[in-house]
Structure 1
Amino acid sequence: MPAFNAGLTIKESIDSVLRQSYSNWELIIINDASTDNTASVIDEYLNNENRIVLINLKKNGGLPNARNEGIKNAKGKYITFLDSDDLWFPDKLATQIEFHEKHPDINISHSKYELFDKSGIVKRPLKNIVEFNYKRQGDLRPTIYSVNTVGVLTVMVNRELLNKSGYFDTNLWTMEDQDLWIRIAELGENFGYINKSLAKYRLNVNGITHNLNKYKKAYKVLIKKYENEISRLNATNMAWAYYYRYFGIAHFKKGNYKISVLYLKKSIKLDRYFLNKLLTTVSFFKALFKHYF
C-alpha cells in the first residue's frame, strides 16, 4: 500500500484489509515521504497488529517506486496491491486464493470492481456496454496495449512472475500498471478473471481533466514503447481509436468542445467495430445532454 499524504483516506483502506475473511496476509505500507498526518494514522495500528509492516521513505519517489519497495520487502507467494484511498471487499483475498488453488497454471488474476465517491457507488452502465468486446481473461493481447482492462486494486500475482517480468517502471509517472500487464502478457501468461466485484475504486474529484495534457503524453509514450508489438498484432488503429475516444470525452468535460468533436470523429473513423462507433457517438451526445440540460 503506497501512501503519500493519505491521512484522510488511509484508515478506511487499512480497515478494509483488517476485515478480510482470509487472515494469512501481510500488509506492507510504504509511506512515500508524506508531509501530513499519514504516519501518525499508521502508527495507531502498528502496536496492535503484527501483520502490518511500515516502510518510511525519506524522499518521495512516486507510485511505481513505492510499489516496488513493497514488492521487494514482501514475504508471501502472492502479491496484491491496494492504494491508500481504495477499498477491498471482505472476501477479496479468500476468493482469489481459492481461484489460484483451483487454477495453478494461472499466475495472475483480477476481478470486477466498483467505482465510488463521497455520495456512494457510481454506476456507469454505458461504459460497460462500450467495453463489451474488451478481453479480461486469457491472452489479453492486443487489447491490453490500448485499453487497461485490469484494475490494479484487484490483482493477485505470483511473486515469481513479477520477478520474471520485472516490476513497475519507475520512469512512468502514470499507466505504470498497464505497462506491467503488457510485459506479463508478452511472456505468454494468461490472465484469470473473476466476474465479481472484489474492490472499490475511489474516484478523484478532479479526475483526468486536471492533468489532461500529462495523461495524453503518457498514453503516447506507452504506445511508442510498444509500437512494434502493436503493429505486429494489427492493433495500431485500435490503440489510436481508444486514445481519441478517451481524450475526446475528457476534453469535452474540460470545456474544449471543438477539439472533443475532432477527437471523437477520429475515434469513429479508426474503430473497426460498428457498435463501438455507435456507442462512441452515444457517449458524446449523452455527455452533451448532461452538460446543457
Structure 2
Amino acid sequence: MATQTAKPIIQASLLTRLNKRYGTLPYYVIILIYALIAAVPILWMFLTSIRPQEDVYSIPLQYVPSQFLGLEQYFRVFEDRPYFLYTWNSLIISGITTILCLILGTPAGYGLARGGFRAANYVLIGMLGFRLFPPIALLPSFYLVFYKLGLLDQLTALIIANTYFNLPIAIFLLRGFFRDIPVDLEEAARVDGCTRMGAFYRVILKLAAPGIAAASIMIFLFTWNEFVFAITLAGSSPESTVLAVGITHFIGDTLIAWPFISAAGVVTGIPALIFVLFFQKYIISGLVAGSVKE
C-alpha cells in the first residue's frame, strides 16, 4: 500500500523538477512535433498541385517535383470548371446553415440550461440521438421528401439537410457554455431592472461569446466539408454544386488528375481557414470579456 502511494508522489515530484528546470519548453516541443506531422499532408497536397502529372506515378516516388509549374494548374482548375460558382454555393450553404443553427440553437441551449425542468436531459439526448444516425441512412428519406417538394438540385435542400444534422450539435455545445455561466450574474442583472430576456441579451450572450464562436466554427466546417448530401441532393446541376463535389469532376474513367485535385483541395481549404482565423479572434476576446473578477 505504501509503495502504491509513493509512486504518484515520485511522479509528481519528477514533473515538478522538470517544470522548474525546463519550464514550458517540453510542451512547446510536443506541439511543434504535432504541428509538423499535421502539416505533412497539406504540404504534400501543395507540392502535388504544382508538379506535372507524370511525377505522381513515377517509381521511385519523387518527393521534390521534377518541374515546378507554379500556379498554372490552379488557373486550369478555374478555367475548366466553374469553381467561382462552386465556391459561392459553398459559402452560401455554410453561412446560412451556421446562422440558422445559431438562431435556433442559442435559445434552445439556454432553455435547456436554465429551464429547470427534469426532462431537459432526456430532450437533449433525444435530439442527439437523431444526430447519431449516419447521414447515408437517412439519405433516401431526404431524397424522397425533397423530390416531392421540388427542391432537388437547389441550395435550399442542402441548407435544410445540414441544419437538421448540425442543430443538435449547436444546442449541445451552447447548453454547456450557458450552464458554466454563474446564475448570480443573471440574477444581479434582473435585480438592476432587466427582464429575463434583457438579462439574456445584455449579459448572457456576451459571456457566451466563446461558445457561440466555437459552435459557429464547428457548424461551418461540418457543412463546408459535407459530401454525401451535396453529391446526392444537388450534385447533378452546376448551379447547386459545391466545392466538395466539384473536386470529384477531375476523376475520370481512365485517369485521376491528381495535380488538379490537389489544386482544387488547396483552393477549397482557403475559405474555411479564413473563417476559422476570423472567428478565432472573437473566441479570445470573448474569453477575456467574459472573465469575472474575484
Q: TM-score if structure 2 supplies the norm length?
A: 0.21
Greater helix percent: which structure?
A: 2
Structure possessing the higher relative contact order (Cα contacts under 8 Å, 6 or more residues apart): 2
Task: Give the structure with higher Rg (CA).
Answer: 2
Query: Normalised by the size of structure 1, how large is the TM-score?
Result: 0.21
Bigger share in strand: 1
